[in-house]
């Protein structure tokens, strides 16, 4: 009995000692990783390759750690946020997001931050990959016309955000001062066929979404987290049209996706694909077979997938009104042979009318408000019309009017549009359903009536008729009103 009592007293002590020894053992297992990375000697140096989005620098591969010299310039520039809307961006390297920085574990980064003398404000940089006060912000605060240099050791592999941390921090980030720095593990990441750089950001303007002209930053909207625009790569068309990314069937695509914020979390999704791998929050944990991945403000993720069928894949923030109403939408154009085993396309079409044959329509109001700024010239009609197109028509008819096969007809070089302008106007103001033939192909879908003013109808149709090989018809407000009054 005494032995048993003594054992009861000793046993918890043994457990405690065991836990302590185990904890120390775990610490000792982890510590060498940090010590090893910090103690890697560098004997050579190189100037870092920096790239603007959507491009990324050359992979590090199996190169040894080096002294990596990063030279980054801060530029305050006016650019186009969307058609007809300009904005003064504050940038790292002249782009939003800023230049992509690619390193490897053990690099000694010598970072020089230069503030262009034409700029109006001081800035600095906080790199989330840095172990040190302010992520480098305390050592990099620099006035216009000056530069600062500091250095840091890359200790942890991963994909990290960097941003300006000058007060007011939120304003500097909201104006576009963010980017990504990749720290590859020793030996590099596994090779893929295509790599791209994408970063989401939310913008806050004095004018409402689409209001034309140079728009200043609105602090109250930013504080309220009421974004006018949520975009990829700095603008509404930052990843569409000529800015769309590309791949070929059979290729593996890796996307380095960041979220500059400053406020909103991103629900990143590619319509028509599944992520084979997701490096969760840009770290070492890999998740597989993911449909949508969350990326926090000030965070990042690496997603990889193989493209198996051709077509236009749509990149979105799946907080979906941001995609189709505020700009968080991009295109990955995939070329190659179809594979009917994976995706058949439309097999057959039938008629299903459980509630009768009535044409679907959007809820209407008794009266539509006219646009505040009527177009005064053909050039203004084209500018305003493109804006209406991108807000209302882009999702179905695509950036170059090519439509979506078997679903929505093309507007480019369209015999259907060019044959009858009044019919085209009627389709916009009244909606259209039933079978039509466009450029020799048959379509049988539904177009709901568009809730836009007569002025906007005239502008958008003028834009369509004067784009993509159409007949250069100019549509006026009076022409639209005549169709409405029939």
- pTM of the shown model: 0.73
DSSP alpha helix (H) spans, 301-377? 320-321
If you average pLDDT over every residue of the chain, what do you get? 88
What pLDDT score does 199 carry?
Answer: 98
| Total number of domains constituting the chain | 3
> Do 130 and 213 belong together in one domain?
no
More confident residue, 84 or 370: 84
DSSP letter (8 states) at residue 251: -
For residue 287, give the CATH number of its domain. 2.60.40.420
CATH label of the domain that carries residue 471: 1.10.760.10
- Say yes or no: 70 and 159 in one domain: yes
Dihedrals phi, psi of 447, to nearest 5 degrees: -110, 120
Gap between the Cα atoms of 471 and 480, Å rounded: 18
Please give the full DSSP string across 427-463, using - where no structure is assigned: HHHH-EES-EEETTEEE--EEPPP---HHHHHHHHHH
Query: Can you give the pLDDT at residue 356?
Result: 56
Domain membership of residue 340 (yes or no) is no
Query: For a pLDDT cut of 90, what percent of the chain falls above it?
Result: 71
Q: Is a pLDDT exceeding 60 seen at residue 205?
A: yes
**Predicted confidence (pLDDT) at residue 242 exceeds the cutoff of 80:** yes
Q: Does residue 70 or residue 352 have the better pLDDT?
A: 70
Domain shared by 180 and 209, yes or no: no
Tell me: pLDDT of 364 over 50. Answer: no
Tell whether omega for the bond before 97 is within 30 degrees of 0, i.e. cis.
yes
- Do 66 and 113 belong to one domain? yes
| 272 CB-contact burial (10 Å; exposed 0-12 / middle 13-18 / buried 19+) | middle
- Maximal C-alpha separation, the chain: 106
Q: What percent of the chain has pLDDT over 70?
A: 87
Residue 474, domain member (yes or no): yes
Mean pLDDT of 266-273: 97
Give me the domain span that covers residue 472: 378-484
Mean pLDDT across the stretch 276-295? Answer: 97
pLDDT in tens, 303-343: 999 999 999 999 999 999 999 889 999 999 999 999 999 99
- 115, 145 contact by CB (below 8 A): yes
Q: What is the pLDDT of residues 340-357, one digit of tens each?
A: 999 987 776 566 666 555
Nearest Cα residue to 179 out of 240, 233, 124 = 233
């Amino acid at each position: 009995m005494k032995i048993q009592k003594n054992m009861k007293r000793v046993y918890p002590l043994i457990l405690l000692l065991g836990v302590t020894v185990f904890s120390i053992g775990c610490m000792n297992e982890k510590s060498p990783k940090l010590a090893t990375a910090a103690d890697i000697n560098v004997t050579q140096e190189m100037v870092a390759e920096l790239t603007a989005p959507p491009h990324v620098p050359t992979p590090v591969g199996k190169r040894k750690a080096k002294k990596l010299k990063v030279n980054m310039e801060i530029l305050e520039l006016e650019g186009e946020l969307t058609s007809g809307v300009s904005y003064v961006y504050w940038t790292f390297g002249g782009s939003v997001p800023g230049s992509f920085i690619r390193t490897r574990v053990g690099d000694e980064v010598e970072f020089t931050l230069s503030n262009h003398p034409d700029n109006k404000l001081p800035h600095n940089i906080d790199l989330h990959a840095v172990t040190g006060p302010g992520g480098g912000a305390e050592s990099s605060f620099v006035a216009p016309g000056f530069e600062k240099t500091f250095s840091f050791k890359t200790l942890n592999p991963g994909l990290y955000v960097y941003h300006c941390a000058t007060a007011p921090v939120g304003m500097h980030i909201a104006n576009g001062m963010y980017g990504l720095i990749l720290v590859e593990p020793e030996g590099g990441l596994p090779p893929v066929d295509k790599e791209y750089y994408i970063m989401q950001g939310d913008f806050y303007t004095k004018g409402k979404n689409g209001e034309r002209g140079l728009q200043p930053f609105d602090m109250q909207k930013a504080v309220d987290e009421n974004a006018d625009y949520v975009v990829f790569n700095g603008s509404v068309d930052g990843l569409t049209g000529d800015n769309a990314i590309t791949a070929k069937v059979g290729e593996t695509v890796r996307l380095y996706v960041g979220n500059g914020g400053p406020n909103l979390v991103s629900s990143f999704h590619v319509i028509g694909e599944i992520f084979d791998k997701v490096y969760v929050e840009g770290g070492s944990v890999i998740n597989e077979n993911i449909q949508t991945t969350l990326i926090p403000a000030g965070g990042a993720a690496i997603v990889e997938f193989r493209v198996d069928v051709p077509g236009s894949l749509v990149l979105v923030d799946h907080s979906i009104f941001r995609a189709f109403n505020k700009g968080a939408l991009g295109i990955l154009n995939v070329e190659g042979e179809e594979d009917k085993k994976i995706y058949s396309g439309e097999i057959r079409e039938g008629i299903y009318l459980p509630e009768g044959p009535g044409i679907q329509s959007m809820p209407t109001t008794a009266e539509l408000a006219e646009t505040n700024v009527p177009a005064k010239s053909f050039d203004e009609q084209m500018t305003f019309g493109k804006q209406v197109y991108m807000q209302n028509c882009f999702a179905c008819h695509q950036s170059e009017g090519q439509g979506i096969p078997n679903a929505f007809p093309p507007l480019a070089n369209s015999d259907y549009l060019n044959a009858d302008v009044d019919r085209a106007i009627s389709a916009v103001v009244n909606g259209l359903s039933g079978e039509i033939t466009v450029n020799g192909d048959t379509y049988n879908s539904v177009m709901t009536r568009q809730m836009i003013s007569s002025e906007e109808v005239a502008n958008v149709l003028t834009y369509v008729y004067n784009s993509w090989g159409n007949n250069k018809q100019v549509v006026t407000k009076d022409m639209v009103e005549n169709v409405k009054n029939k």
